[in-house]
Amino acid sequence: MPRILIMNAGTPQMSGGHLTEAQLSLAANSAHRSAWFAHERDLIVSPVEIPANLLSFIGATLDFDASSLRLVVPASRQPTILDDCTLLSRTVVERIKRHIRQDSAWRLYPCYSTEGVARLAALLGIPNTGDDFALQRGPDLLNRKSHFRQLATSVALPLPHGSVVTDPDGLSNAVTSLRSETGSVIIKLDNGAGGVGNVILTSNKSDPLPGARDTRWTSWPSFDPKALWSEMTTPSCKTLVVESYHLARSFFYLEYAIQDDSSIAFINSGSIRLRKSKDRSERALIWTGLELPSDLEDEQWLTAQAHAYRFVALSRDLGYRGMINIDAIFARDGRLLFNEANGRWGGGSVLHNIAIRLLGLDYSSRNVILSVRNVRSPSFQAAHDRFVKDGLLFDRTRKEGVIPLAADEQAGTVECVVIAPDRPTAHDQQQRLLGP
């Protein structure tokens, strides 16, 4: 059954509706990256054009006829996102209808199940389990940090001490009550994705800490809650989450799929990898990629799974259907602490999709999958040609090598996937890609 892939990353539900130029660029890069979900005869609804050479390479790598793919892109002279208004525009809907007339059965596969996606399903006559929940904007419950704390508390997930605040006085009270636990607190914008809305305040002078766009040394008496409130909140988001900040020895996520029949399938788990910037003035760590499977010890993994499953089951019982991923840490004192959940495609979803199609469902018992961001290259084609020349390109017989995922030509970088038989080999390959 062919699918309609809806690449609506960066929607207002995820970003708060105030997209910067950098966030628009990320949404475009996400669309290129998500093209790897495609199967033969799928229809891709994307905010941007996807290069023909990328689609051809995807088809050749995953062994299907890429010429069978169809692409619908909104007509726009400006960078855009695939928000509900754009998705439901007459032009987009009519173009989708023209493409799907040749087949009687289709499925929708959105990044984010928005109200607009549910309305599109009704217009196309494609019923989906979970549409009623999406029509009431139910998935937003699973993509807000405040709602995560509320829902997670109801199923007894271990969380950092914290609170939800809605004004500067609440922010001041929360920071004051939490700062003594570890000497650091993290303040999170309710609907900021990827840590871009987070700020860490610490009384301990330190290098940038994971999980935030800025780490700030603070003399607590000089803390100005009104200034921070004004800086962090937006016209569409006047809610912050304040938590005690814990240093971590491992960062990881767990990803699940809630199926139409209400069953819950574990999809994958990966470690989140970060590094310091060479620029000493940079106040955030650089996200270098993901590593699948996660490097947790068996007991840690089983403990995290048992807790996370309760949250996923609650999400199912609320009415949500689709992908859901949950971020967590094991703190340096050994405690398991959950940070947030996202009811949508996660960063590891594409990597898992590629791995099972090339290696089989049990790949995690035999392989390590590493995403490597910011590999220097002027274009996707240049990266591909370099990997062929250097003998790095993924080899189906050996079942290892490098796959270029997508290029950010403005930045002059390419994201790649390393497939290796073990972690040392994968890390060596990463160093070879990134250079000295």
Over residues 404-423, mean pLDDT: 93
Asked which of 87, 102, 136 is the last residue of a domain, the reply is 136
pLDDT at 92 over 90: yes
Domain shared by 259 and 333, yes or no: yes
Domain contains 257: yes
Q: pTM score, two decimals?
A: 0.92
Asked which of 244, 278, 311 is the last residue of a domain, the reply is 244
Domain shared by 234 and 252, yes or no: no
> 323: number of CA atoms within 13 Å, CB side?
21
H or E element in which residue 342 lies: strand 336-342
The count of other CB atoms within 10 Å of the CB of residue 324 is 27
Residue 301's CATH number: 3.30.470.20
Domain shared by 88 and 229, yes or no: no
Domain shared by 234 and 275, yes or no: no
Domain shared by 219 and 129, yes or no: no
Domain shared by 411 and 338, yes or no: yes
Sign of CA pseudo-dihedral 33, 34, 37, 43: negative
Domain shared by 129 and 73, yes or no: yes
345-354: pLDDT as tens digits: 998 999 999 9
Task: Using alpha carbons, select from 81, 82, 104 the residue that is nearest to residue 93.
Answer: 82
35-84: pLDDT as tens digits: 999 999 999 999 999 999 999 999 999 999 999 999 999 977 666 788 99
Over residues 25-37, mean pLDDT: 86
Domain shared by 309 and 393, yes or no: yes
Sign of CA pseudo-dihedral 96, 101, 102, 103: positive
Question: Six-digit token pair at 365?
Answer: 């018992």
Residues in CB range of 308: below 8 A, 6 or more apart: 157, 254, 256, 326, 328, 338
Range of the domain at 262: 248-434
Residue 24 has φ and ψ, to the nearest 5°, of -65, -40
Domain contains 156: no
Domain shared by 343 and 421, yes or no: yes
Domain shared by 261 and 239, yes or no: no
Query: What pLDDT is attached to residue 181?
Result: 94
Domain shared by 98 and 207, yes or no: no
Residues in CB range of 79: below 8 A, 6 or more apart: 21, 24, 25, 28, 48
Torsion of CA 356, 71, 21, 376, to 10 degrees: 50
Query: What pLDDT is attached to residue 80?
Result: 75
Asked which of 199, 216, 244 is the last residue of a domain, the reply is 244
Residue 365 DSSP label: G
Residues in CB range of 68: below 8 A, 6 or more apart: 40, 41
pLDDT band at 275 (very low <50, low <70, confident <90, very high): confident
- Grouping H, G, I as helix, E, B as strand and the rest as coil, residue 283 is coil
Query: What pLDDT is attached to residue 23?
Result: 62
319-345: pLDDT as tens digits: 999 999 999 999 999 999 999 999 999
Residue 255 has φ and ψ, to the nearest 5°, of -125, 140
pLDDT at 228 over 80: yes
Domain shared by 60 and 180, yes or no: no
Q: What does the mean pLDDT of the chain come to?
A: 91
Query: Cβ distance 82 to 11 under 8 Å?
Result: yes
**Count of domains for the chain:** 3
pLDDT band at 220 (very low <50, low <70, confident <90, very high): confident
